[in-house]
Structure formats: C-alpha cells, structure tokens
Amino acid sequence: MLRADHRVVLLQHGGLADLSGKTGLTLLRYRRGPVVAVVDPDQAGRSLPEVTGIDRTVPVVASLDEALAYGPEVAVIGLAPSGGRLPEPVRADVAAALRAGLSVASGLHSRIGDDPELAPLRRDPAWIWDLRREPGGLLVAAARAAALPCRRLLAVGSDMAVGKMSACLELAAAAEQLGVPARFVGTGQAGILISGQGVALDAVRVDYAAGAVEAAVLAAGEGMGPEGLVLVEGQGSLAHPGSTATLPLIRGSQPTDLLLVHRAGQRHIKGLPELPIPPLPELIAAVEALAALGRPDGHRPRVKAVALNTGHLDGEAAARAIAAVAESTGLPCTDVVRSGGAALLQALGLAGDRP
C-alpha cells in the first residue's frame, strides 16, 4: 500500500515529544521516502530536531488543513496509544485527510476502513490501509523456517519499547553498506510502514501467531543463500507479564542467532517497579534455553551481542554503560543508534571479511 515515494504527512497529535508517538518518530528517523509535514498542535511551529533530536527538516503544523499546503498524498497515524484506539483529535484530521482525497494508513486497532463515518469519506483512487489485520491463509507453525539456508537474527528485549526495531533497522542499513544481502521482517506497525511488508503480530490469533511469523520469514528468506541475513523485528519481552509475542517469534523464525536489546540502567519493567528485570546473564540463559526447544535441526541459538539503548545518557555515561554490560555478559555491546550497526554486525560474525 505505502510506497517509498509517497509524500507522507504524520498525524502525531501530542506524540511528537514522547513515546506515545513512537510510530511516527520511527518513520521520521528511518523512512527514506518523503515526510512533508507533521501535525502536532502541541509543538506547531517548533523545529523538529529541537523537539525530537532527529536530524530531519520537516515542518510541524497544527492541523491537517495546514499540512495540505505541503502536498501530502498519504496521512499516516503516527501514534501508538494504549489500547490502540483512535483518539478524537486525530479522528477529525483523518476525516479532513479523506475529504481532501488523501489515502490513510493506520496501525491502530480501531479500523478506519470499517468506521461507518470515516470509510465513506474516501475518494477514489485513494485507499485506506488498516495494517493491523490478520493475514489470510495462515497455517499452524511447523518449524519450516529452519530449512532456510540464510541466517536469521531475532531481536529479543528485556522489556517492551527498548529499541528492538531500531536495532534491526540499523543492522539492515549497515548490511546494505557492507554489501551483505539482508531483508527486514516488520512485526509491528512502524516496521511494516517503513518496509512495506511483514505481519502485525498482535492482530493474529494466538494459535496462528507463530505460523504468521513463519510465513513472513519464509517470504523474506526466499532465494537467499547462506550469505543472506533475515532480520526479524522483536516484540514484547519474556520478562513482561503482559507480553505474549516473544515465543511465537522464536517458534516462527527458527532463529540462527539472537540479539538482546536493553535500555541502559533499567532495572524493572517500565511502569511495574515490583517486577525487576533479571540480571542480563540470567535473561540470556532463559532466552537461549527456550530458543533451543521445538527445533528440527538441533541448533541451539545463542545471544551473540547486546544492543544497548543509551539515548537518555550523555556520551561518557553511555560509554561506561556499554562497557559495564559487555563485562557482565561477556558479549559484544554497543548502541547501534549512536554508533551505527557496522561494528555490531562484524561482532556478530554476519559481515564476513568485508571491509
């Protein structure tokens, strides 16, 4: 649905300066195609780098009507609110976008295309893409991805929203620069919007979740040889009591390698101080033990490195945190957003002898 050359306006209402807008913030950081405007009444008129730290020149305006002056073709809802419901202020701008002939892409659970008030506003040839839909024709997983000759790297997190997708996208960019054949499998709304493909895992019935991942990984790995790399975006965390996503990702992708993603200094599940995150060596052992089960090839995937999110730290503090994690785990560790993914790709042994 969403092409790389589409001119996008992001609907970020109140989410430009915090994680409620993480979908749009990710598109601002990683989408290669044009983002012509951002709608956020709270930040209208301010500089995008000043608000977000993202080095991209995009005007921030107060309404969709103001954004029309920049010639958008597709309005993308950049919010990820709790429960995935469409907030009323965003609803008004979605209606304005449809009336203006724009297409709309949404990763919310509230489906624009099924909305009796919004759906009739669409004008041909514009489209509505509700990407949180279960794909058709799903099968129960049967470890089919284990037969792929390519490497399959799955990102696993110590918590939700620690940077699993960002780590995979940085590694994908590094692989491109190094000439390593690599494909990214998006499993959440932002990853799918950026790559144009993947599976919205939280829209799939639990019996078919691993099968949906399996189908997406098989599609990504088609035609790739042993030198190829499939990067699977992680979701959730085994340490989070509300998360069910990690197990079907492990089962469906049949990973050859694992990447642990953690936020520096975080000691408990966000918002649940009574639930400590296990020491990283213990968490790594648990993930590896689980990933060794349900495999036809007898392979025991290992966590090969740690991608550490140090975005809240200054340079010196980040360096100390990286060194501490490397020492405690005995694994290569870096912040791929700060430093790029090349060094970590080399440390993972996924870049061969390329310079």
Among the candidates 99, 130, 161, a domain finishes at 130
Provide the domain limits for residue 114.
8-130
* Domain co-membership, 204 together with 318: yes
36 & 156 share domain: no
User: Domain check: are 35 and 70 in the same one?
Assistant: yes
- Report the pLDDT value the prediction gives residue 355, as an integer from 0 to 100: 43
- Domain harbouring 308, CATH code: 3.40.50.300
* pTM (2 d.p.): 0.92
181 with 263, same domain: the answer is yes
DSSP 114: G
Instruction: Please state the domain count of the chain.
Output: 2
Which 3 state secondary structure label does DSSP give 38?
Answer: strand
Q: Do residues 108 and 154 both lie within one domain?
A: no
Residues 38 and 167 in one domain: no
What are the strands, taking DSSP E only, across the chain? 8-11, 35-39, 60-61, 74-77, 103-106, 128-130, 151-157, 182-185, 229-232, 257-263, 268-269, 272-276, 302-309, 333-334
pLDDT in tens, 304-314: 999 999 999 99
- Report mean pLDDT in 10-residue bins for the chain, 355 residues: 94 91 93 96 96 95 97 95 82 97 94 96 97 94 98 97 95 94 95 91 96 98 96 97 96 98 97 97 98 96 97 96 98 95 86 53
Same domain (yes/no): 22, 123:
yes
Q: How far is residue 154's CA from residue 249's CA, in Å, rounded to a whole number?
A: 8
Task: Indicate whether 139 belongs to any domain.
Answer: no
Residue 73 confidence (pLDDT):
98
Domain boundary among 85, 108, 130: 130
The predicted pLDDT at position 352 comes to 55
Q: How far apart are CA 171 and CA 335, in angstroms?
A: 11
CA-atom Rg of the chain in angstroms:
20
Show the tokens assigned to 42: 């709270």
Both 126 and 150 in one domain: the answer is no
Token readout for 136 is 């058709």
Q: How many CA atoms lie within 13 A of 249 on its CB side?
A: 32
Domain presence at residue 272: yes
> Is residue 137 situated within a structural domain?
no
